[in-house]
Amino acid sequence: MSESKETKLLTCPIRGELSATALAKDGVTPSEESRRIDFIHFLLKRKYPKDHIAVETVVIKKLGESGRNKLRADVIVFECPRVDVEGEEISERLKKAILVAEIKRDSKSSKSGVNSQLKPALAQIPRLDALGVYWDDINRILFTKAMESIEGVDQIAISEDDIANLPKFGSKYKQELITIEKLAPPTNLVGLLFGIANIMRSHGINDESLRYRETVKLILARYCDERNAKSSESKELSLQVLSGKDPDFSKRVSGIYKTAAARYSRAKTLFSPKPGSELPERTLREVVKHIQGVDFTAASNETMQQVFMSFVPSVFKKALDQYFTPIGLIETMVDLCRIGPNDTIVDPAMGTADFLTAAMEYRNSQGDDDIVQRVFGADCDEKAYDLAVVNMILNKDGQSNLECIDSIENHDKWKDSINVALCNPPFGERSVEKRPEVLRNYDLGHVWEQSEKGEWIKTSSTLAKQQLGILFIERCFKALAEGGRIAIILPEGFLCTKSYGYVREWIRTHTRIVALVELPRRIFTKSDADLRGNIVVLQKLSDENLAQCVKADYPIYTDIIRKVGFKMGAGFSPTIARDPKTGLELRDESNSVVIESDFVETQRRFSGYLEKVKVYSEDVTNQADWSRWRGARYSQISQHSNLDMKPRRLSVRAIENINKIRSSDHLKLSEIADILDKKFDISEDPSANLRLVEGIDIRAVEGLVTPQFPQRAWEIVERKQKNVYQLKNRDIVVGLVRPERRNIGLLLDPGSDIVGSPDGVAVVRIREEYTEELGQLWLFQALRKEQVRLQLWTESGGTSYGKLTHDNIGYVLLSKPGAEELKLEKASAEAWAQSVSNLYTAWSSVGTDRDRFPIINSPIFGLEPVDEPWDQE
């Protein structure tokens, strides 16, 4: 971004594009400015002319004792173009003002905003027909003026009304029934609904479950109300409080609740045994008034997920954490499948049906009204099923084909009939299938064995148990018609761990691998799943078409997601993109905050891949532009000794890194060096003083290994393990965990008391026959290079942190330098090692060992008691 160019943060219909500098001068945060812009858009919809609207206008001067203060109005509308009054005195300008508005960023300051700012400003406008508006993220209130006689004295009284009754420009205000076209979309629907719960609490309703159940019922009743209003001639809404006593309120509201109970009869927890509201009429009137001007059907899918997560769990006395899948991830998986106008969709492990609601939103946005008839889902958990029903209803449909069944047991349901399967299955050793009669229906429910050549072969024996996460891969496949797509979340272990090689064998021989997308490790911590997940997109083809794709070595899309749009493990609050120069929030064309996420960019890149590779076209073997593909291909999985399918190993950068090394003279590490595997048992001499080296003892930046202070062998055995490596001076130590951090260090210590933990480090020593030509120090320098770091990171695997094996390290390729370059590299490495050794020797002579002992943050380190406090005789 150019420093001389100001970042455009907001676009105002009146003032145009606002820059960071303009906002700072204005003294208003982007959030409050965006509220102001939202209100201006609302005025424009009501046909208020743009040139009649003024922003940040002084309505009173010389306030306070010093007379230096001013009262400003956020927005003022004049009966004439604002340029006609710009040169006039304030008192003259106010005579032509017809509306004044006070805007706040949030509802915290609503009382002071109304009483200290809006009402005084409205009182300064002499016209009796002038209107006032208060507007924040939750409250939208219209204020009107009228003459009232109080004890025989005429006074101006200010009254409140719903913002929906703001008249169009040129029309006179009158309180009337709210119609569907007057509704405004919510800015903060969750906050609005919590306001309903607070109203109930203030009325003495202390049962949280009842408050939230009534809130959800009110939403569903409102959905029916808005549908009815759209199809009626009057367009009037039933859920509103009319002026005066409104004697028909209870009858009107009761009728719409009965309609909702009938329409959403499957939501038995909500509408049974009482289909209507359980609130007292006085409370019901106040909560209806609170929401009567809001357009609920305009709320986005993401907003409704927030509502669902916030209110529904208490109704069902069930936590939703185990079902949590971030909305950005869900929308990306839906997008990667490219659901078409005639496609059917299924989630056989639907949980709360978030994938299905996202699929409906995706198709609804393209005008597909029939999508609700083509969505199917199942879950064997009754509470999950109930939650799914309510989630679908909240997302504007309650009639989808959801069933409370065990879809693993019902393996033939939807057989060969579905176009898209979306799934985030349960994982872990506790989520297993043990029934032999069920397991025998799945290839992946059988025992697989490896031949002498390393090929995986299915046997006729069934497993004693199998993880459900693995069975759901095949379950989705069984449901698909030819050409159908699967988007499923799988832990990294399934894609790279040796023991799951048979899973990868089944995937590559039964499906076309379309896409592999790595997710950050902590994305599922809200569901207590601290694993590294991956999006895997597969396609079901005929045997003939699949064979043709394999023969042509088909391309595979890979990507890595790092920014997910929320803070993982820190309350899951949104991460908002900011202007790098000022730190102010960035906004899109509609002035909504821009969420900092990689998901949208992944969708964009995948679209380019589809356009070039033609994956989902009828001719799936179309090879247009395949020759220009720089990314992964099928052979890079099938020819790998472990059938490794990790996205980072197959990323463009990883592939280009390996290809560049192979294009010139290079060496394989295992051919020139040994990776130590000999260990010795330290428990045989428990009193020995030893210095341990673990992964944390590698100083990644400096490339040094710093052994821990001496401890007894029995302490190491008790805390770690008894079998360790014997380390020697100039050993290369490789940290096995988090190799992306370049955890490679050199031990520069001649001591014979240093041992290494095999669980945390590997030890590399150059072979004797290469010592003179290459040398240990050159090898250390070569292993520290970026081309090696990338290899170690892309080869590492595991369910949680990436972890290396000895094989991973041995496969590393090193560029072999020419004779002159090799000589220079060896000399520089030797000079560095000697200087570090000299530094260590000098440091060792300063003070005593006790002076250098590291103190950890623990209460056990402090003043030590003497053996005997008494004076000795």
Quick: pLDDT tens for 491-505: 998 999 999 999 999
| pLDDT over threshold 70, residue 862 | no
- DSSP codes of every residue in 670-706: HHHEEE----EEGGGSTT-EEEEE-GGGEETTTTEE-
pLDDT at 429: 75
Q: 């009173």: which residue's tokens?
A: 60
* Tokens linked to 241: 């409080």
In this prediction, what percent of the chain has a pLDDT beyond 90? Answer: 55
Query: 25 falls in which pLDDT band (50, 70, 90)?
Result: very low
Residue-level pLDDT at 682: 94
pLDDT at 861: 60
Decide if 574 contacts 20 (C-beta within 8 A). no
Lowest mean pLDDT: which of 173-182, 749-758, 793-802? 793-802
pLDDT band at 26 (very low <50, low <70, confident <90, very high): very low
3-state secondary structure 778-817: HHHHHHCCHHHHHHHHHHCECCCCCECCHHHHHCCEEECC
In angstroms, the Cα distances linking 751 to 672, 714, 730 are 26, 20, 11
Residue 64: its pLDDT value, please? Answer: 43
Q: Mean pLDDT, to the nearest integer, of 637-642?
A: 93
Q: How many CA atoms lie within 13 A of 684 on its CB side?
A: 5
Residue 1: per-residue pLDDT: 33
Rounded (10°) angle between helices 301-316 and 189-202: 30
Q: Cβ neighbours of residue 255 under 8 Å, at least 6 residues apart?
A: 238
- CA-to-CA distance for 530 and 523, rounded, in angstroms? 8
Tokens of 418: 């579905």
Asked whether residue 671 carries a pLDDT value surpassing 60, the answer given is: yes
**62: pLDDT confidence band, cut at 50, 70 and 90?**
very low
For residues 186 and 295, is the Cβ–Cβ distance under 8 A?
Answer: yes
- Choice among 29-38, 54-63, 130-139, 225-234 with the minimum mean pLDDT: 54-63
Cα Rg of the chain (Å, integer): 34
- The three-class DSSP label of residue 141 is strand
> Could you tell me if 641 and 553 are in contact, meaning their C-beta atoms sit under 8 angstroms apart?
no
Element (H, E) at 317: none
- Would the pLDDT of 277 be above 50? yes
* Amino acid 66: pLDDT: 46
pLDDT band at 65 (very low <50, low <70, confident <90, very high): very low
pLDDT, tens digit (0-9, with 9 covering 90-100), for 461-497: 999 999 999 999 999 999 999 999 999 999 998 999 9
Average pLDDT, the chain: 87
Distance CA 307, CA 195 (A): 13
Is the torsion defined by CA of 184, 185, 187, 193 positive or negative? positive
pLDDT class for 344, splitting at 50, 70, 90? very high
Helix ranges (H only) for 161-248 are 189-202, 208-231
pLDDT tens for residues 808-849? Answer: 999 999 999 999 999 999 999 999 999 988 888 888 888 887
Higher pLDDT pick, 422 / 843: 422
Alpha-carbon distances, residue 601 vs 118, 466, 614 (angstroms): 43, 36, 19
SS3 793: helix
pLDDT at 573 > cutoff 80: no
* pLDDT tens-digit map of 159-182: 999 999 999 999 999 888 899 998
**How confident is residue 322, by pLDDT bands cut at 50, 70 and 90?**
low
Supply 219's token pair: 């939403």
Q: How confident is the model at residue 67 (pLDDT cuts 50, 70, 90)?
A: very low
Nearest CA among 100, 85, 237, 261 for reference residue 164: 237
Kindly report the pTM of this predicted structure: 0.80
Catalogue the long-range contacts made by 769-774 (C-beta closer than 8 Å, 24 or more residues apart): 770/672, 770/673, 774/672, 774/822, 774/826
**Token pair for 98:** 């017809």
pLDDT score for 327 = 82
The percentage of residues in the chain with a pLDDT greater than 70, rounded to a whole number, is 90
pLDDT of residue 530: 56
* CA-closest candidate to residue 15, choices 5, 23, 3, 27: 23
Which pLDDT does position 384 carry in this prediction?
A: 83
Better-predicted residue by pLDDT, 435 or 116: 435
287: nearest Cα among 207, 235, 227, 222: 222
Q: Which residues pair with 778 in a beta bridge?
A: none
